Amino acid sequence: MNINHVRGRISATWLIIVAAVALALGLWAGSQWLSRSPVPDLKTAVMYPAALAVPDFQLQRADGKSFAATDLRGQWTIIFFGFTHCPDVCPTTLAAFKQVWAKLAERGKTDKARFLFISVDPERDTPEQLARYVAFFNKDFVAATGTNAELTRLTRALGILYLRVPDQSGGYSIDHSASAMIIDPEGRRAGMFRPPFEPDAVSADILALIDSSR
Ligand code: NI
């Protein structure tokens, strides 16, 4: 056995030790990282594998303030798109989220989440009409609408569809997606709730999301 052979064996041993230590450190760091950002155990929310940016938009709130993409930051936001003349889907949804918000209020968490109703019927949904409509369900719900161009851009970015459909009386109705989008406190699209909205499960998930982002 010559000296070079021994040196080769020693460096191979060291290499294995260094690799094992690096692997252990990597696993430890990975577990630390995972424990810092736990993925909550959700009952009904459908979350994206990674949160997606929301492009900028400009809407008008029913109270006269403007509402842009940056205003989504700071809280979890549930966005539902609809219109106040909607005969069934919108009233059912808002009634469900009224119950959800009552459950969040019981836990003192209503400052950590916001419900945003966006009308896709800016022609009929005046600020007064919108404000009255959402306040009927919850006075803290935020309502907004915008130009058709802004609404089209935003709904397309969020994967929401809506379509004006003529009715028999010469007026129109609007077919629209029935899912509620979940926006995280960084203002990114994080997932969605799909109907039917079961208030216990939806509120439990919103509470879990709030806890996960503390
Ligand atoms: Ni509707």
Predicted local distance difference test score (pLDDT) of residue 35: 47
141: nearest Cα among 200, 79, 184: 79
pLDDT band at 213 (very low <50, low <70, confident <90, very high): confident
Query: Is CATH 3.40.50.1400 the right assignment for the domain spanning 3-212?
Result: no
Instruction: Report the separation in Å between the CA atom of 77 and the middle of ligand 1, taken as the mean of its atom positions.
Output: 19
Q: Tens digits of per-residue pLDDT, 155-183?
A: 999 999 999 999 999 999 999 999 999 99
Percent of the chain with pLDDT over 70: 82
The answer, yes or no, to whether residue 80 has pLDDT greater than 70, is yes
- Ligand 1 midpoint to CA 87 (Å): 7
Distance CA 37, CA 209 (A): 11
Distance 43 CA to ligand 1 centre (A): 24
The residue that leads in pLDDT, 93 or 33, is 93
pTM: 0.82
Residue 26 has pLDDT above 80, yes or no: no
DSSP string spanning 159-187?
T--EEEEE-TTS-EEEEE---EEEE-TTS
Pairing of strands 189-193, 172-176: unpaired
Cα–Cα distance for residue pair 62/122, rounded to 1 Å: 11
15 C-alpha to ligand 1 centroid (Å): 64
CA of 157 to the centre of ligand 1 (A): 19
Which tops the pLDDT comparison, 9 or 173? 173
Q: Which of 144, 156, 171 is nearest to 65 (CA)?
A: 144
- Cα(8) to ligand 1 centroid in Å equals 74
Residue 38 binned pLDDT confidence (cut-offs 50, 70, 90): low
